[in-house]
Amino acid sequence: MRTASRERGRVGESLCAPAAAMGTVVPSALAVAVALALPSVALENGLARTPPMGWLAWERFRCNVDCRADPQNCISERLFFEMADRLAEDGWRELGYQYINIDDCWSAKQRDAMGRLVPDPERFPSGIKALADYVHAKGLKLGIYGDLGKYTCGGYPGTTLDYVKQDAQTFAEWGVDMLKLDGCYSSEEQQAKGYPEMARALNATGRPIVYSCSWPAYQGGLPPKVNYTILAENCNLWRNYDDIQDSWDSVLSILDWFFTNQDVLQPAAGPGHWNDPDMLIIGNFGLSYEQSRSQMALWTVMAAPLLMSTDLRSISPSAKEILQNRLMIQINQDPLGIQGRRIVKEKSHIEVFLRPLSQAASALVFFSRRTDMPFRYTTSLAKLHFPEDAVYEVQDVYSRKIISGLKAGDNFSVVINPSGVVMWHLRPTTLPVQPWHVVRQQVHSEGLRPVLL
């Protein structure tokens, strides 16, 4: 989403009451995270079985097309060649960051004589095929941007319904590996027809192309206008909400919307079909060190795509350390693919989030919205609805410190910095029953208890 999101304001605002009363455990707690069934039918192109990881140009570089004044930072093949070099040479690729994604403003202002999309000849003189070849030679994948309207959000040629098949074929011939399809200058009816039509057209090319849709963001992000079962049948990932900006307020607004509406959004996500809260802005200008750690942890607990939008040529060591945290990435890429939930919202402005993982493991994030001083938060796993007779080995995701033999009934304390997080990976060493998995369960009026198979 681009201009349209800003004109509309915050989608879904005031449409749903907060998910938790202050100072209480969210009624559905752990159970809903593991109990709600995923959509029974999904887009099965075999792609995006874990959340896609890589780099996306938009938030950091926008629609800067003035290559004479700013050749290093304009939207040009040079920028993408250089970012591909950094992903391949600076340790990103080996961690799973494999996509180099072009966003808006890459094309010429007009289609060619055959009606085909073409890149701007001055900024992409080698062409997209050559760029894709370069990216592939580095062991990476290339993503590109389109829009289901007459124009893209930046005013470049869009993909109207009569061009869907042709543009899908063009992208495949170029060797594109991911398509992000925006929705500026398109109607609700055009979107309802065009997004599924592009899914079919991409599959018909025979080339594996991950499909990212902005469809729900243009329809308010919530039922009844958004049907997440249909969405998962057509898209590998989708933008639900507003564009992220380079600010902590923007990150918080996204978090608030996603977790206020978690009962709708959480069951929609899973292998091959993901909610996308937008790019990681770690390494830019708007977040403090603590806030950067928080975005990484909270995006990970949401099973969100990890698409960085920062200058990898000059990224700081501290930002790089956050983004290259191996245990964090392992949690994000967990093959079970369950999106986490907020399970506690305290009057003290502390929130707790839980993501169930494979092999009966879990991730917990303790998040502080406080702005005064570090806060000591005391609780127990039993209070967070973990099985009472289980014993866990805990590893702090950032400090890497290990706590062995933590019983569910043991009280513990974590010290959380203002706007910061403490994140734990928990592995059971004594299991009372078999591991968790996604199961169906009746939702009782008194809320849900943890579900174990």
Q: Are strands 375-380 and 411-416 parallel, antiparallel or unpaired?
A: antiparallel
H helices within 72-205, ranges in order?
77-89, 92-95, 128-137, 164-174, 188-204
Contact between 172 and 205 (Cβ < 8 Å): yes
* Tokens 């140009």 sit on residue: 57
SS3 call for 268: helix
Of 168, 88, 174, whose CA–CA distance to 126 is shortest?
174
The DSSP code sequence of 63-83 is T---TTT-TTTSSSHHHHHHH
Tokens representing 375?
A: 């806060």
- Dihedral sign computed on CA atoms, order 149, 150, 156, 162: positive
Tokens representing 39?
A: 């959509």
Distances (CA, A) of 54 to 84, 98, 379: 10, 5, 36
Q: Considering just the CA atoms, what is the radius of gyration of the chain in Å? A: 22
Tokens representing 10?
A: 């915050």
Contact between 87 and 134 (Cβ < 8 Å): no
Tokens representing 116?
A: 């085909």
Per the annotation, the verdict on 182 as an active-site residue is yes
- Dihedral sign computed on CA atoms, order 295, 296, 300, 305: positive
Per the annotation, the verdict on 104 as an active-site residue is no
Straight-line distance from the first to the last Cα atom of the chain, in angstroms, rounded to the nearest whole number: 40
Paired strand residues for 107 = 119
Per DSSP, 37 falls in state P
Other Cβ atoms less than 10 A from the Cβ of 444: the count is 10
Q: Which of 182, 242, 276, 278 is catalytic?
A: 182
Tokens representing 414?
A: 């974590």
Q: Which of 243, 276, 278, 334 is catalytic?
A: 243
Strands (E), 204-246: 210-213, 237-239
Of 438, 2, 3, 32, whose CA–CA distance to 261 is shortest?
32
Contact between 78 and 124 (Cβ < 8 Å): no
- Which residue numbers are catalytic? 182, 243
